[in-house]
Amino acid sequence: MIKSLDKGKWTRPTDKSAVYIEIEPGKRWGIRVTLYENHAKVEAVQGEKTVWYNAPKRYSTIVTPPTIFEKLRGISFEDKVLAEVEEKRRVAAEENGSPSYFMESEDN
C-alpha cells in the first residue's frame, strides 16, 4: 500500500489486490486506486460502487511499473501512481463542480 494515500480508506478485497477510496464528505465524485501484483488502476469515480468498463483515459488509467529508462531517471512505481492520483483528483474536483476541492486540504 502507498503510505501517502491516507485521506480515504483502504480495503483488501482479495489476497492479491488492495483498493483505496477517497471521496470528500458531501461530494459525489472521488478517486479509487486499485493495486494489483504488477500494475495499478487509478480512477475518478462517482461513488464507491461505480464500475467502469472501457472508460475514457480522463476517468481511468492503468499504471504499469517503471521502465528501465524511468528507473534510471529515479521514477518509482509509487511516483507514477501518485502522479495519476493527482490527475484523477483534478477530474473528480471538476466533476463535483469545484476545481479546487482537493487542493484546499493540501495547503493545511
50: confidence class by pLDDT, cuts 50, 70, 90: confident
Mean pLDDT of the chain: 88
- What is the structure's pLDDT at 100? 57
Q: What is the 3-state secondary structure (H, E, C) of the chain?
A: CCCCCCCCEEEEEECCEEEEEECCCCCCEEEEEEECCCCEEEEEEECCCCCCCCCCCCCEEEECCCCHHHHHCCCCHHHHHHHHHHHHHHHHHHHHCCCCCCHHHHCC
Which of the two residues, 59 and 102, has the higher pLDDT score? 59
Q: What is the pLDDT of residues 59-92, one digit of tens each?
A: 999 999 999 999 999 999 999 999 999 999 999 9
Answer yes or no: is pLDDT of 107 > 70: no
